[in-house]
Chain A
Amino acid sequence: AQKITQTQPGMFVQEKEAVTLDCTYDTSDQSYGLFWYKQPSSGEMIFLIYQGSYDEQNATEGRYSLNFQKARKSANLVISASQLGDSAMYFCAMRGTGTDSWGKLQFGAGTQVVVTP
Chain B
Amino acid sequence: DAGVIQSPRHEVTEMGQEVTLRCKPISGHNSLFWYRQTMMRGLELLIYFNNNVPIDDSGMPEDRFSAKMPNASFSTLKIQPSEPRDSAVYFCASSLRGEETQYFGPGTRLLVL
- Give the B-binding residues of A (Cβ under 8 A): 33, 35, 37, 43-47, 50, 52, 91, 93, 95, 103-105, 107-110
Q: Dominant SS at the B interface?
A: strand
**What's the least CB distance linking A77 to chain B, in Å?**
15
What's the least CB distance linking B87 to chain A, in Å? 14
Chain B residues near A (Cβ < 8 Å): 31, 33, 35, 42-45, 48, 50, 55-56, 89, 91, 93, 100-107, 109
Please name 5 further chain A to chain B contacts, defined as beta carbons within 8 Å, in addition to the given A35-B100, A105-B93, A105-B102, sorted by A numbering: A45-B104, A47-B102, A95-B100, A103-B55, A110-B42
Chain B neighbourhood of A109, CB < 8 A: 42
- B106 pairs with A103, CB closer than 8 A: no
Interface centre among B35, B42, B48, B55 (most CB of A within 10 A): B42
Bound CA–CA A47/B56 (angstroms): 23
Q: Please, which residues of chain A bring their CB within 8 A of the CB of B56? A: 103-104
Report the separation of the CA atoms of residues A35 and B33 in the bound assembly, to the nearest whole angstrom.
16
A selection of 28 A-B contacts at a CB cut-off of 8 Å is: A43-B106, A43-B107, A43-B109, A44-B104, A44-B105, A44-B106, A45-B93, A45-B107, A47-B101, A47-B102, A47-B103, A47-B104, A50-B101, A91-B43, A93-B43, A95-B100, A103-B55, A103-B56, A104-B45, A104-B48, A105-B35, A105-B43, A105-B45, A105-B102, A107-B43, A107-B44, A108-B42, A109-B42
User: Within 8 Å CB of A46, what residues of B?
Assistant: 104
Residue numbers in A under 8 Å from B44 (CB-CB): 107
Chain B residue numbers with a CB within 8 Å of A107 are: 42-44
CB closest chain-A residue, reference B95: A103
Contact of B89 among A43, A91, A104 (CB under 8 A): A43
- CB neighbours of A108 from chain B (8 A): 42
Q: How far is the CA of A43 from the CA of B35 in the complex (A)?
A: 14
**Which chain B residue lies CB-closest to A4?**
B42
Which chain A positions have C-beta within 8 A of B104?
37, 44-47
